[in-house]
């Protein structure tokens, strides 16, 4: 009975922690620092109060969740170097597919495409060992983009391959195959159509990009990223007035520059 009470208490505690982690970015740095230090004390204190002996698996899962939430929060704030450092510490604890996927995304933002590709490969390999359920609930509280999903690693691996291909005249067909696989796994996720459109724009194929962006907008009408990309595609077609209208629509929908999952190679954000 004591163990059952502890599990319930821990579940409620986890939910509160994730909500506070989400809002912590609005605190000043000193308060946020104190908040993060307190996280390391919550689980042991809860165990002592419950009178239940902790299992190694339970404590291990809480540590992975902490590093995943910390790294994801930093990514959302555009602090990609810090995210890489935090997620690397988590990966010293476990080769978790979600940790690899988010770190790969941070590397992509920093333009470190070889490191990004290595992490997306590792994410896809390590997911056979499990560990995704531990972080899915955390992701739900922190971001609408499901970084832990297999389809995310395929889509972003394709984007990283395309970006590296543009720099090194690489094979763009392999990049498209990865993104096509992401869409096959999760055909109702607008993010993957946006990523495929971004690759098409980089390849000077605006008509193909516009087809995918219409699909993305149909799936999520309030998503500003398709409008941002549509403006780029329309510019390539020489339709300046229509491009400006699309940019205004993206701004009106609060286009999130730091977490635009189609933009790699932008570096840390400067506030």
Query: How far is Cα 197 from Cα 210, in angstroms, rounded to an integer?
Result: 7
pTM: 0.75
Query: How far is Cα 52 from Cα 29, in angstroms, rounded to an integer?
Result: 35
Higher pLDDT, 27 or 59: 59
pLDDT tens per residue across span 79-113? 999 999 999 999 998 889 999 999 999 999 999 99
pLDDT tens per residue across span 201-241? 999 999 999 999 999 999 999 999 999 999 999 999 999 99
H-state helical runs in the chain = 2-23, 29-50, 56-76, 80-93, 97-109, 113-126, 133-142, 150-168, 172-185, 190-202, 206-219, 225-236, 240-252
Query: How far is Cα 62 from Cα 39, in angstroms, rounded to an integer?
Result: 10
pLDDT at 7 over 60: no
Write down the pLDDT at residue 23: 36
pLDDT at 267 over 90: no
């Amino acid at each position: 009975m004591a163990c059952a009470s502890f599990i319930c208490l821990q579940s409620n505690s986890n939910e509160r922690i994730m909500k506070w982690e989400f809002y912590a970015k609005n605190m000043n740095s000193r308060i946020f620092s104190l908040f993060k230090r307190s996280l390391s004390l919550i689980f042991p204190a809860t165990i002592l109060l419950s009178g239940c002996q902790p299992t190694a698996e339970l404590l291990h899962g809480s540590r992975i969740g902490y590093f995943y939430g910390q790294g994801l929060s930093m990514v959302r704030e555009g602090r990609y170097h810090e995210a890489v450092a935090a997620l690397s510490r988590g990966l010293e604890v476990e080769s978790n597919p979600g940790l690899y996927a988010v770190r790969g995304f941070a590397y992509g933002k920093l333009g470190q495409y070889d490191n990004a590709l290595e992490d997306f490969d590792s994410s896809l390999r390590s997911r056979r060992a499990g560990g995704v359920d531990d972080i899915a609930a955390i992701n739900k509280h922190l971001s609408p983009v499901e970084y832990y999903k297999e389809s995310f690693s395929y889509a972003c691996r394709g984007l990283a391959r395309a970006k590296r291909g543009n720099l090194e005249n690489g094979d763009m067909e392999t990049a498209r195959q990865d993104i096509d696989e992401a869409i096959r796994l999760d055909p109702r996720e607008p993010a993957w159509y946006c990523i495929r459109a971004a690759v098409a724009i980089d390849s000077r194929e605006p008509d193909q990009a516009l087809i995918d962006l219409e699909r993305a907008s149909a799936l999520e009408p309030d998503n500003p990223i398709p409008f941002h990309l549509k403006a780029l595609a329309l510019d390539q077609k020489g339709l300046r007035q229509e491009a400006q209208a699309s940019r205004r629509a993206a701004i009106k929908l609060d286009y999130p520059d730091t977490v635009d999952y189609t933009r790699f190679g932008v570096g840390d954000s400067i506030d």
